[in-house]
Structure 1
Amino acid sequence: MKSTTNIAKMKTEFTLKNATSHAGSKPLLAYLEKIKLEDAFRQIGCGKGRNTLFPFFKILMYLLVGWLLGCERIFHFRSLRDDSLVRRFLGGRCPHHTLLYKELCRAAVSMPTIRRDLKALNLDLITPCLSDECILDLDSTVETVYGNQEGAEVGTNAQKPGRKSFQPLIAFEGKSRLYLNAELRSGNTHCSRNAHTFAKETLQRLPKSCKVKYARFDKGFGGETFYSFWEGKQIGYVGKLKWTHRLAKEVAKCPHWKRYVDGDVIIEGLCLVYKATSWKKARMVVVIRKAERYDGDQLQFDFLWDYEAIVTNLDWEPIDIWRFWVELNLLESKRKAIIFLVIAFILAAKFQS
């Protein structure tokens, strides 16, 4: 029987009677109902009959709920099929997990514009939440696969060496933490390859009322073309720089460090003009070093310092540059659930190498 009761109106009892592992998701499901996300998914054409048991917008809702509840793989959705709360949210029934495979494959063939449609829908949903001046955060992750999926290749994979994987590029808005853009790529593709093209596409997709003022990225991103892109757009950027022996020799020539934190952990910083071998011109590099304080008046040994280098075009204090970049790392763990959902959506579209 089809359920018409809103999740928010369901009675809640704080007991273990008839409890399920996903019972705590009621506030989340109620929120998805309140923002009418299902109505938004209805806008995406699916080519299926209206009387079908599971329309494509229901499949999208099921994928979204599953990924938010920790289903990283399609077969993990088996645990949701008999969950009474999730069934109630979907109208009384949940599709079999094998149907998700079929629907994603069918969508890739019968809906060639699904990737563009999902991005357009996402932009419509988040535009009211974007500020006039945005921070663009670029991130990359490794998604290991256990099979021979199209486009999956063996690349750098610290968690599962030798396994095939994807390495998607993902763009977020730094203030609101909202997802802006994504591109699925093979696991053997370095994240710096054509990164400026991905950044350009992201900027073009943003509404005219939203101006990107700053960009942040990890050390996987970089190169002359990438840095020149931001400089040409007059966008301030902060990016982690790989600590190399050549850079360490240049830093060793700088005797004057400014101490910013003088507690149990000492933090010092400096700025220098540095030109990497692949750069056409020299750029400002901020170097921060940290070490634990030792008791007494003994000097700090050089090998006890932990060094970090950041390339930037901002005229800020080194400690402010470092703290601004640290915010990017602090957000990574909060983005994992969003990343899983993004990967699911872009897997539904035709693979792009």
Structure 2
Amino acid sequence: MLNRLLHTEVTRADNALRKIFNWKQTPGQDAYKHYFKTFDQSINQNVSKHFFTWFFQNINIDHFTLDIDSTIMTRYGSQLGAKKGYNPKKKDRISHHLLIAFVGELRMVANFWLRSGNSSSVNNFTDFLAETLSIFSDKKIGLVRLDLGFCQKDVFDY
């Protein structure tokens, strides 16, 4: 019980956060929870892109490896966008099919998309790649590594 209380209120004692936003007092976890509950998938994606772009523009790395993979997340209950699709571990369960891009040298996520479980690995991949590349602006990618699920002519042409 004590660990849970500490976890949910850790932001209230965060002086760095208070100074960054010039707040007199830092809100507790419930204030953040209520605020972020109003975000839909579009807002989440725009906020994520903004922070990823800021991070990679402000880090001193100009030449790196981009790893892109997809993975299945099994869902339970009623989750927005979750659908039945290929799910090797939990057949006939609803899921999301994530696309995730990583910067290998930093072991940092560079972008991700949460797609419905009935999407294939390559579904909307070139749009995802274009968005991911825009995050890096003028930085150079030395190598792009993809798994077998992305081996299609339109991907290689792009």
- Name the TM-score class by shorter chain: 0.7 to 0.9
Aligned partner of 2:47: which letter? D
Change (3 A) 1:53 1:191: closer
Instruction: Work out the CA distance in 2 between the residues paired with 1:227 and 1:41.
Output: 43
Instruction: Work out the CA distance in 2 between the residues paired with 1:150 and 1:206.
Output: 30
> Residue 52 of structure 2: which of 122, 126, 147 is its match?
122
> Residue 155 of structure 2: which of 209, 223, 226 is its match?
226
Instruction: Work out the CA distance in 2 between the residues paired with 1:104 and 1:178.
Output: 23
Q: CA deviation at 1:172?
A: 0.8
Q: CA deviation at 1:106?
A: 1.9
Q: Tell me which of the two structures has the higher relative contact order, counting C-alpha pairs closer than 8 angstroms and 6 or more residues apart.
A: 2
Deviation per CA, 1:262-318, whole angstroms, max 9, x where unpaired?
Answer: xxxxxxxxxxxxxxxxxxxxxxxxxxxxxxxxxxxxxxxxxxxxxxxxxxxxxxxxx
Task: Map residues 77-226 of structure 1 onto 2, 5 A cutoff.
Answer: 104-108=36-40, 113-208=43-138, 210-226=139-155
**TM-score, structure 2 normalization:** 0.76
Q: CA deviation at 1:154?
A: 0.8
Q: Secondary structure at the match of 2:112?
A: strand
Q: CA deviation at 1:145?
A: 0.7
Change (3 A) 1:168 1:39: farther
The structure where strand makes up a greater share of residues is 2
Instruction: Work out the CA distance in 1 between the residues paired with 2:61 and 2:130.
Output: 19
Task: Confirm or deny: 8 A CA contact 1:126 1:178 kept in the other structure.
Answer: no
Deviation per CA, 1:310-334, whole angstroms, max 9, x where unpaired?
Answer: xxxxxxxxxxxxxxxxxxxxxxxxx
> Residue 54 of structure 1: which of 30, 33, 47 is its match?
30
Contiguous gaps of at least 5 residues in structure 1: 1-18, 44-49, 60-101, 230-353
Instruction: Work out the CA distance in 2 between the residues paired with 1:132 and 1:54.
Output: 39
Q: CA deviation at 1:183?
A: 1.0
Change (3 A) 1:139 1:40: farther
Aligned partner of 2:111: which letter? N
Instruction: Work out the CA distance in 2 between the residues paired with 1:137 and 1:53.
Output: 34
Q: CA deviation at 1:203?
A: 0.6
Q: CA deviation at 1:120?
A: 1.0
Instruction: Work out the CA distance in 2 between the residues paired with 1:200 and 1:52.
Output: 37
Task: Confirm or deny: 8 A CA contact 1:153 1:164 kept in the other structure.
Answer: yes
Task: Map residues 286-325 of structure 1 onto 2, 5 A cutoff.
Answer: none
Q: CA deviation at 1:51?
A: 7.3
Please tell me the root mean square deviation across aligned C-alpha atoms, in Å: 3.5
Task: Map residues 37-48 of structure 1 onto 2, 5 A cutoff.
Answer: 38=17
**TM-score, structure 1 normalization:** 0.37
Deviation per CA, 1:116-160, whole angstroms, max 9, x where unpaired?
Answer: 123212332343335111211101111111112221111111211
Change (3 A) 1:51 1:175: closer
Deviation per CA, 1:49-103, whole angstroms, max 9, x where unpaired?
Answer: x9787332xx4xxxxxxxxxxxxxxxxxxxxxxxxxxxxxxxxxxxxxxxxxx65
Aligned partner of 2:100: which letter? I
Aligned partner of 1:106: which letter? T
Q: CA deviation at 1:162?
A: 0.8
Partner of 1:3: none
Q: Percent identity?
A: 27
Aligned partner of 1:218: which letter? D
